[in-house]
Amino acid sequence: MSNLVGPWVRRFLVEYVIGERNYSPNTQHSYRDTFRLFLPFAARQCRCAVDRLPLAKVTSKVIRTFLTHLEQVRYCGPATLNQRLAALRAWCGFVGLNSPEHLEWSRQIRNIHFKKHAPAPLNISSDKHGHGFAVLLQLWSSTVIPNVGFERIALKVPGHSFRYRISGVGLIQLYFGGEHKRVIAQSHYRHWNEAGARQRGAGDADSVDWHALSQLSGRIQRHLRNKISVAKVRGRPILPSALAGLSSVSANRPKSANLDIERCMVVRLLRGS
């Protein structure tokens, strides 16, 4: 029996995940992705090449360090951490079953407990009644659509009687939800695509440069995710003002409450159309 990690990973994915268990393609990809993340990390920890990584070096300490890395560096939530740990535990069980001399090694790693899901400190809502503070931005680029419509809207707000808004099928909408009575409203980023606009008759779809809209949308989303965001919660980017707002709201909670905003709260700040 090989004492290297590589052959055992291959056997596990081929014989167990695909052959014996016949998992769905999504589950197979999840198991594969776990090792794509874990093997380079473990090799760096053990200071050796991935193809020369011995099983004996993959200790429970290394796996716990890997889970901490996922949580603190990649901002993975409890569900993702447990998913990665489940794949590694299943792999260790497979190795122990097929190689009795590794039973004790397998037992030590399989004793790593799953992470409990802490309750969310705040409720997340779409704030359907519009009681919370929110900001709606509509972005227009002349390279996408040459002209837009202007609409006058009457207001019943002290000091303001009307405002203008633009309309057009080629606009990009940025909606930043706010907080109202400990409820964080969900935010979103969206725009029409060509098929949806034509199917629903949303406007003059022929006047829109859909390729330019797609390119512009991609640049905006990459800028928001990679340049502006300061954290992630289960893969969702958190913008600085949102994180500050969550912190100020959470500061009013009793000290006995176990708060961990980045790990416990599902804040969907950006959801593409």
When divided into structural domains, the chain yields a total of: 2
98-107, 108-117, 161-170, range with greatest mean pLDDT: 98-107
Q: Note down the domain range covering 56.
A: 5-110
Q: What is the pLDDT of residues 230-246, one digit of tens each?
A: 766 656 677 776 666 66
110, 137, 158 — which closes off a domain? 110
Any residues with CB less than 8 A from the CB of 71 and at least 6 apart, and which? Answer: 81, 263
Q: What is the pLDDT of residues 181-203, one digit of tens each?
A: 555 566 778 898 998 888 888 78
Which pLDDT belongs to residue 39? 95
Which pLDDT belongs to residue 222? 83
53, 87, 110 — which closes off a domain? 110
Helix (H) or strand (E) holding 136: strand 135-139
| Residues 72 and 153 grouped into a single domain | no
* Euclidean distance between CA atoms 20 and 254, whole angstroms: 50
| Residues 83 and 141 grouped into a single domain | no
Q: Copy the structure tokens of residue 233.
A: 């919660």
Q: Is 226 helix (H, G, I), strand (E, B) or coil?
A: helix
| Residues 155 and 252 grouped into a single domain | yes
| Model confidence, pTM | 0.50
| Residues 98 and 180 grouped into a single domain | no
* φ/ψ of residue 217, rounded to 5: -60, -40
Whether residue 118 is contained in a domain is answered as no
Nearest one of 104, 18, 12 to 60, comparing CA atoms: 104
| Residues 150 and 247 grouped into a single domain | yes
